[in-house]
């Protein structure tokens, strides 16, 4: 069965109450889970530090009045587990980059929880919507890896995600979802488990894309977030526990998601028209979802039902610390954070750097 058909079945099962469509057999996932836990305990010689708190105001060079409100939800990838400095977390990177592109201050709130699965999104959304300032302008959700390793049925996983996106969209927030990363890149997981992990991750990511687009959100594929760069430079791209991304890894993820975050707020200079030279297309949602998981940074946006736009906005070049500070437009760190966020060097649009995949 094609990935598009599997993803559509999972999404349909979530919509109509099905709960038995899983990603892998129970025995297989049990072995995979044991391998993943072994990787976290024994490879890399250390445990990932708790994520730094990055909440606060970014882009003070643009003032402090009427900031854009950015929120992050999800698991350890959204929280930034594995790095020690505030400016290395994905929230700080996205807030700094958004401030630089929009030329407005950005108020960041991160409610992501390390180890969270999709069923924790209801709690996280409730925390955000209870804020006195009202719903965020844009929410970024990164979730899915723990659903796979903890054997949550795919239909249940995407049902929780769809409900979270629906609540946020109803409240008036734009939503960008970084779909399930490719667990097949975790170094200590060997074949055939590596292949099975990749298959499960991509099936879930495709199903996530379908339900998010149907609820009015956008997705960015991070299936390759732990992909080519991570496979080629595992010691550089993974953190101390060889499981969570390093600072360079989070910067790569931020560069994949930032253009879409800017685009939903009307701050990205590219229009949503198709550019065939970038392998962009309009496809049925399920097929677009299946295509998106093949390349990191692929954005899927709803068009007229049942069609979706498949776009490639990602930039490949990794940030350099000195350039990052300049790209942030003298962006300062949040009050009490004790650090200066480092915006991705590619976060500011440039006519000299193509945004192709």
Indicate if 244 belongs to the active site: yes
- Give the chain as a 3 state SS string: CCHHHHHHHHHHHHHCCCCCCCCCCHHHHHHHHHHHHHHHHHCCCCCCCCCCCCCEEECHHHCCCCCEEEEEEECHHHHCCCCCCHHHCHHHHHHHHHHHHHCCCEEEEECCCCCCCHHHHHHHHHHHHCCCCCCCCEEEEECCHHHHHCCCCHHHHHHHHHHHHHHHHHHCCEEEEECCCCHHHCCCCCCCHHHHHHHHHHHHHHHHHHHHHHCCCEEECCCCCCCHHHHHCHHHHECCCCCCECHHHHHHHHHHHHHHHHHHCCCCCCCCCCCHHHCCEEEEHHHHHHHHCCCCCEEEEECCCCEEEEEECCCCCCCCHHHHHHHCCCCCCCCCCCCCCCCCCCCCCCCCCCCCC
By three-state DSSP, how is residue 66 classified?
coil
- Give the count of beta carbons closer than 10 Å to the beta carbon of residue 235: 9
Indicate if 118 belongs to the active site: no
- Give the count of beta carbons closer than 10 Å to the beta carbon of residue 178: 29
Identified catalytic residue from 75, 76, 346, 347: 76
Identified catalytic residue from 244, 246, 312, 347: 244
Identified catalytic residue from 241, 246, 346, 347: 241
Residues annotated catalytic, as ranges: 76, 241, 244
């Amino acid at each position: 069965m094609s990935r598009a058909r599997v993803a559509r079945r999972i999404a349909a099962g979530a919509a109509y109450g099905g709960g038995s469509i899983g990603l892998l057999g129970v025995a297989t996932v049990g072995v995979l889970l044991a391998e993943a836990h072994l990787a976290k305990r024994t490879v890399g010689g250390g445990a990932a530090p708790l994520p730094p708190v990055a909440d606060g105001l970014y882009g003070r060079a643009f003032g402090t009045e009427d900031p854009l409100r950015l929120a992050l939800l999800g698991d350890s990838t959204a929280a930034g587990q594995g790095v020690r400095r505030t400016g290395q977390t994905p929230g700080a990177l996205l807030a700094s980059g958004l401030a630089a592109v929009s030329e407005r201050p950005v108020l960041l709130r991160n409610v992501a929880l390390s180890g969270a699965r999709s069923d924790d999104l209801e709690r996280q959304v409730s925390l955000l919507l209870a804020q006195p300032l009202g719903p965020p302008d844009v929410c970024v959700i990164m979730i899915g890896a723990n659903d796979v390793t903890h054997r949550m049925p795919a239909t249940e996983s995407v049902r929780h995600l769809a409900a979270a996106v629906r609540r946020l969209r109803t409240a008036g927030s734009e939503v960008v979802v970084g779909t399930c990363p490719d667990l097949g890149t975790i170094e200590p997981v060997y074949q055939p488990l590596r292949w099975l992990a990749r298959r499960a991750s991509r099936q879930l990511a495709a199903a996530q894309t379908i339900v998010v687009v149907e609820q009015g959100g956008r997705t960015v594929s991070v299936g390759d977030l732990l992909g080519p760069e991570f496979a080629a430079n595992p010691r550089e791209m993974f953190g101390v526990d060889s499981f969570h991304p390093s600072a360079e890894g989070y910067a790569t993820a931020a560069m994949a998601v930032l253009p879409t975050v800017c685009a939903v707020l009307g701050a990205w200079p590219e229009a949503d028209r198709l550019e065939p030279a970038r392998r962009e297309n309009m496809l049925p949602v399920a097929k677009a979802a299946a295509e998106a998981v093949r390349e990191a940074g692929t954005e899927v946006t709803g068009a007229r039902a049942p069609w979706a736009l498949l776009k490639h906005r990602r930039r490949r070049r990794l940030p350099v610390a000195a350039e990052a500070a300049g790209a942030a437009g003298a962006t300062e760190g949040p009050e009490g954070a004790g650090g200066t966020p480092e915006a991705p060097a590619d976060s500011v649009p440039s006519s000299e750097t193509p945004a192709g995949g």
